[in-house]
């Protein structure tokens, strides 16, 4: 039987703590919004977030307006 991934919605503080790189990708689907991404200002953390997005570790999904 195929197991389902748990869905986690990360805020800015979780991204700054680099949870997206620490949590096992096989168990979690990680989601955030573009507004959260915009809140990350410093180069090191922005680079880590963009890396996670490019590796499909984080999906950016905005709620309907």
Tokens of 12: 């800015």
CA distance 65 to 46: 25
28 domain-assigned: yes
The answer to whether position 1 is within a domain reads: no
Q: Tell me how many domains the chain contains.
A: 1
Q: Where does the pLDDT of residue 1 fall: very low under 50, low under 70, confident under 90, or very high at 90 and above?
A: low
**Is residue 34 in some structural domain?**
yes
pLDDT at 23 over 80: yes
Residue 54, domain member (yes or no): yes
20 burial (CB, 10 Å; 0-12 / 13-18 / 19+) is: buried
On whether residue 33 sits in a domain, the answer given is yes
How many Cβ atoms sit within 10 Å of the Cβ of residue 42? Answer: 9
Calculate mean pLDDT across residues 42-47: 94
Range of the domain at 56: 6-60
Mean pLDDT for the stretch of residues 8-12: 97
């Amino acid at each position: 039987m195929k197991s389902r991934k748990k869905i986690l919605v990360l805020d800015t503080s979780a991204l700054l703590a680099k949870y997206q790189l620490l949590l096992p990708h096989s168990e979690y689907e990680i989601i955030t919004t573009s507004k959260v991404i915009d809140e990350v200002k410093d180069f090191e953390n922005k680079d880590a977030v963009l890396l996670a997005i490019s590796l499909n570790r984080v999906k950016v999904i905005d709620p309907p307006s």
